Structure 1
């Protein structure tokens, strides 16, 4: 139990009995505004997409109506929201929304109104992909070192990685020895996808190896064709952590060593790019979400870890620096520039 309570700078209640999960929160300058201020994008399993532009409130005022820029119902559960350079021909940021059987990419724009609260925001569908398999989660990045654009990789419930080069589908590959989907992220430094398998090990797959591996649908071919057309999907490195992982995150800050962070059910791991452990911390609580962020002390990384006892803990590497009480159990945590 912490003596310190987190002080709300701004808060709002979303809908009634709506459910949210890890991927339902994203923070970015999604409308490409000149101020560069981050907006908060939230998607729920009820299919509601909301975009907020928070302003500090006095306790007696409450939330101002103009803080909610946009609220739309997309008619299908939202599994994950991400913001990146997803549209060809422009380096502007767009919003990718992952549904169970569909990926939609939207442009978010605002038009100035005549009165103070009259700014109108709308989303415009740029393109969508109907998925052949039920999606679990997605990650994005400049796969293969492309410049000025982001590609999207979706992990399906049955272990297929589906890669999309913006408006077109590129290829799909099955992960070997797959049982259940785990968290997935992309590291641009090593150009590889990192996931945690149901064998309780962290696995890294190079994008180039995925691209040149035999296609997912060609497994019944003869031995001779196998040698000529491609090779089996081989893992780059593996690290057994002995527990399921809740989330995984790749960080690279200017003054800190580039690292891969994995939040397990009982431990929190920091790995080097080659899968060696830099440090790990045993947790004496059940974590629910985390985010590594930039530390003020050179060479270290701060991490926020939320848990099921309604506490938010701040670590500098493995040292607990602060713990604060929250009014509810956090399911997702992000750091924003507001």
Structure 2
């Protein structure tokens, strides 16, 4: 990193804030330096895959921080800056690629006006080499102060030296298995090399040059000037000049930070009680001043920043993200800034005050005197404006038509078509035939110039999956027809066959409007007619105020021939395509009967039946159509029992998954430790006995592979258990919505169950329900003394623990009993609540 004259970061004022925050995708490396064309402020050079980006942060948050972006066409491994060209005072940019490097000059081409200025990256040198590169270090090797030379470390640990595009010499280490950090000490003209044997060595440049020639002729061994066994892997090393004739070498290990003089004398070492991720050392003052101070800032794995002077901790604060690279920067209006690069590719420039707060979402604050009455007046104006927005009475927008008037939306589903999907099992040649249902959206815009963009988001419940989750339209010209496909992705129960489509419309004024539409997937997508089944364990009756309609007229996505092939017009059996389970629909007098051997199979067909009945009666202009669900005491007990069993099964699978993931973490740490010890054994002279470690490494690898496969299978099982839980939960919500008159209470129950949160990758349902369940039981329902005994408070252990899950199931049982009693219109009798052990096994 470049060393500049700096001031202290902490002062007597309380100014803290952020000047720059830029999101990157897969940001790989970055460098901070100053150039002649931008001498008033540092520039941030970022390598992102093949793209090189250069930023110049400034105080104006409305202005762009970006100077330029260029696609180099080759992966960027590392970025360095220096004086690589003879007779040039400017600093150049060196970009390292896997088998080449390029040197660029950044210059600015002025236009007739300020906005016409262009930043251009002019290639100066391009050179290729044969060995695949790992890293690069630069400096005035050989004490030649006119320019910087280039040292490239290959993947085999060898060092190749270059002057511009001229190859100088190659040095090969015989005890390096994998490359490590390397750094150049300009003060002593030597290199700090961290080997895979956890040893730090110092080799002079002249020594490397001489022995590279001797190795070719006499095979002599190079002896380092000094060495240090760190006892752990060194992740990074930095050299900083601290006096006129001395430099400091700082090395960061897994748990320690060591500081040496360049002659090998250790100055101090720090043992951390956290896992360090990266560090950066800097001076306060000039190196030739006796009062100069060496400070080291370290970023930890838990997103914290620590600043040390020697072994003394001067400062600590929280970072906004986990930093994988950190550096200091000097902006025009910010003498000392902190630049960090996160693992997710976000580079952020912040600064510290007396109350350190690296808040990347707020501009810097000035300690001006503020009138409290003025602040209160502004707050009242903002509240009044927001209230107008909420009420839809904005005076400013009254002259403009609403988004609903500009855009007309029509959403519908098409007929499912058959597609072939190969099974992932390698030992079979079987193929699973699934259907894909097209969901068609027609957007009609009367005034395309009034719309900036439209984003369409599709949301469906598992096991349904959309081929396109999000679609973006920059313009809507006249009528746009958008089609996406929905299909069944896994063999599990179906809880909801609706697809919710959200339209996020941004107008030219920047106002965002969200419109929603909902379509019902046809029954033919996931069911097909089958042979009639007469004996079913569960039966749910739906009574209507109209005469029943032939089933062939309700499920119109099937032809009459398909429905009557195996059954009658008032008695049809369907089979689920994925699970092969059956459900029978019967039409008798003024009621419909949905029968199945499992309660989960009733939900999707029941909801589809109700939707189709409403559509059929709407076509017949029968607006007074009403229906009701018949639930007796025995049916309520069965549904409650199955719901509790589904929760128990879901919790068991989650516990198993958590234990497997913990086992995987242990195996990963064990595998890494064995690797490191094996590298030390390989690099020892003479090499040690590696057979036991190799056996452990192979055994750990096999256990890792087996554990990963078990996790994949367990995740699939957990998702199926979550779909089963959601299916019964949707049935409960449907029943309570029809049987309980208090709509607010039903809404609370529906929000408490949060069945929509059971996504494929998110199964923490029990934790989400616990708090809401306790609130509803304590505030919505009246508790008796016996209820207070049963509803003991949850302990501090996790909700999936044995005792907490048992209490959670008991609370669910009490709640469902109260709701079913209210649904049947009966009084809540104490003896109606039976012990949960009668229905649910204790884990």
2:212 corresponds in structure 1 to 214
How far 1:103 sits from its partner (Å)?
0.8
Q: Contact 1:91/1:148 (CA < 8 Å) preserved in 2? A: no
Q: Does residue 26 of structure 1 match 2:37? A: no
Which residue of 40, 44, 56 maps to 1:40? 44
TM-score normalized by the length of structure 1: 0.87
Q: Contact 1:88/1:167 (CA < 8 Å) preserved in 2? A: no
Which residue of 324, 333, 336 maps to 1:331? 324
Per the alignment, in what secondary structure is the counterpart of residue 44 of structure 2? strand
In the aligned structure 2, how far is the partner of 1:195 from the partner of 1:82? 18
1:3 corresponds in structure 2 to none
Within 5 A, what are the aligned runs for 1:80-91? 80-91=78-89
Which residue of 184, 187, 208 maps to 2:185? 187
In the aligned structure 2, how far is the partner of 1:323 from the partner of 1:114? 48
In the aligned structure 2, how far is the partner of 1:7 from the partner of 1:152? 38
2:156 corresponds in structure 1 to 158
How far 1:69 sits from its partner (Å)?
0.7
In the aligned structure 2, how far is the partner of 1:177 from the partner of 1:255? 34
Distance 1:55 1:243, change over 3 A: same
1:214-253 CA distance string (max 9 Å, x none): 34983xxxxxx518xxx43322211011011111011114
In the aligned structure 1, how far is the partner of 2:199 from the partner of 2:107? 42
2:247 corresponds in structure 1 to 258
Within 5 A, what are the aligned runs for 1:2-17? 7-14=17-24, 17=25
How far 1:34 sits from its partner (Å)?
6.6
Q: Does residue 56 of structure 1 match 2:65? A: no
Per the alignment, in what secondary structure is the counterpart of residue 214 of structure 1? helix
2:121 corresponds in structure 1 to 123
In the aligned structure 2, how far is the partner of 1:194 from the partner of 1:278? 16
Q: Contact 1:91/1:149 (CA < 8 Å) preserved in 2? A: no
Q: Contact 1:191/1:206 (CA < 8 Å) preserved in 2? A: yes
In the aligned structure 1, how far is the partner of 2:54 from the partner of 2:319? 23
Distance 1:85 1:36, change over 3 A: farther
Within 5 A, what are the aligned runs for 1:87-98? 87-98=85-96
TM-score normalized by the length of structure 2: 0.36
Q: Which has the higher helix share?
A: 2
Distance 1:277 1:253, change over 3 A: closer
Q: Contact 1:202/1:240 (CA < 8 Å) preserved in 2? A: yes
In the aligned structure 1, how far is the partner of 2:106 from the partner of 2:125? 13
2:274 corresponds in structure 1 to 285
In the aligned structure 1, how far is the partner of 2:122 from the partner of 2:133? 23
In the aligned structure 2, how far is the partner of 1:135 from the partner of 1:208? 23
In the aligned structure 2, how far is the partner of 1:257 from the partner of 1:189? 7
1:304 corresponds in structure 2 to 297
1:156-200 CA distance string (max 9 Å, x none): 010110000123110111123111111110001111110111110
Q: Contact 1:258/1:273 (CA < 8 Å) preserved in 2? A: yes
Distance 1:153 1:256, change over 3 A: closer
In the aligned structure 2, how far is the partner of 1:255 from the partner of 1:191? 14
How far 1:256 sits from its partner (Å)?
10
1:111-157 CA distance string (max 9 Å, x none): 12233333201111111121211111111111001021000101001
1:61-87 CA distance string (max 9 Å, x none): 45x22x211101111111111110111
Q: Contact 1:201/1:239 (CA < 8 Å) preserved in 2? A: yes
In the aligned structure 1, how far is the partner of 2:18 from the partner of 2:171? 44
Q: Which runs of 5+ in 1 are unaligned?
A: 1-5, 219-224
RMSD value over aligned CA atoms? 2.2
Q: Contact 1:255/1:298 (CA < 8 Å) preserved in 2? A: no
- The count of corresponding residues between Structure 1 and Structure 2 is 313
In the aligned structure 2, how far is the partner of 1:334 from the partner of 1:315? 15
In the aligned structure 1, how far is the partner of 2:319 from the partner of 2:236? 20
Per the alignment, in what secondary structure is the counterpart of residue 56 of structure 1? coil
1:316 corresponds in structure 2 to 309
Per the alignment, in what secondary structure is the counterpart of residue 264 of structure 2? coil
Using CA pairs below 8 Å that are at least 6 residues apart, which structure has the higher relative contact order? 1
In the aligned structure 2, how far is the partner of 1:233 from the partner of 1:273? 19
Mean Cα displacement is larger for which, 208-217 or 116-125?
Answer: 208-217
How far 1:290 sits from its partner (Å)?
0.8
1:299-328 CA distance string (max 9 Å, x none): 541111112111111111111111121111
Distance 1:217 1:278, change over 3 A: closer
Distance 1:216 1:74, change over 3 A: farther
Q: Which runs of 5+ in 2 are unaligned?
A: 1-15, 332-843
Report which of the two structures shows the higher radius of gyration computed on alpha carbons: 2
In the aligned structure 1, how far is the partner of 2:38 from the partner of 2:19? 23
In the aligned structure 2, how far is the partner of 1:206 from the partner of 1:149? 18
In the aligned structure 2, how far is the partner of 1:247 from the partner of 1:214? 26
Q: Contact 1:256/1:298 (CA < 8 Å) preserved in 2? A: no
Mean Cα displacement is larger for which, 288-297 or 68-77?
Answer: 288-297
1:226 corresponds in structure 2 to 218
In the aligned structure 1, how far is the partner of 2:50 from the partner of 2:118? 21
